[in-house]
Amino acid sequence: MAILPILKIGHPILARRAEPVINIDEEIVRLARDMIDTMHAAPGVGLAAPQVNVSRRLITVDLTIGENPEEIIVLINPEITEAEGEIREEEGCLSVPDVREQVTRPARVAVKGIGLDGNEEFFEARDTMARVFCHELDHLNGLFFIDHLSPLKKALIKKRMLKRLEKGELS
């Protein structure tokens, strides 16, 4: 059990597509557990492996932020297989601290992936859960929620965040 450092925007690993997980071994299981601890400590409702400096297709999701352990989701090599509708809501990110913006996402998604037990899992998600899945899968593809904003707004946020990093205001 470990709390891992969360990378901030500007780190190169966050800008590239994560590699698939080939084997579910002890290292992947430990990473998933550490990601859950890190997500809860932040606190956040989702975390992708690249955010903790591991370029693998692994996400953790928990809308209860640790209140209900049965609701924790760990998905390996997740994919969105269906998406429909639109919903626009405020969104933030542990890798882009102190920034919240309105982002349009699908209102419903179907997601499949592999659980830590090696079995394929399927989820039908709506509203906030759909948003979290989309957000975390974006991280696996080298994207941030701000990539869904206008080019000008995205550039301004990135510039502001990079200045904060240079000043040592973000760790």
User: Would you place residue 163 in the very low, low, confident or very high pLDDT band (cuts 50, 70, 90)?
Assistant: confident
Order of all β-strands in the sheet with 58-61: 46-48, 58-61, 73-84, 108-114, 120-126
Active site residues: 136
Distance CA 107, CA 154 (A): 23
Q: Is 112 helix (H, G, I), strand (E, B) or coil?
A: strand
Mean pLDDT score across all residues of the chain? 95
pLDDT over 70 (residue 171): no
Query: Residue 170 pLDDT more than 80?
Result: no
Whether residue 10 has pLDDT greater than 80 = yes
Paired strand residues for 123:
111
| Interacting residues of 46 by C-beta distance below 8 A, sequence separation 6+ | 39, 59, 60, 61, 62, 132, 133, 135, 136
- Taking only the tens place, the pLDDT of each residue in 77-131 is 999 999 999 999 999 999 999 999 999 999 999 999 999 999 999 999 999 999 9
pLDDT tens-digit readout, 123-144: 999 999 999 999 999 999 999 9
10: which residues sit within 8 A by CB, 6+ positions away? 158, 161, 162, 165
Mapping DSSP to helix (H, G, I), strand (E, B) and coil, where does residue 103 land?
A: strand
Return d(Cα 80, Cα 143) in angstroms, integer: 15
Q: How far apart are CA 54 and CA 103, in angstroms?
A: 26
First to last CA, the chain: 21
Domains and CATH numbers, the chain: 12-164 (3.90.45.10)
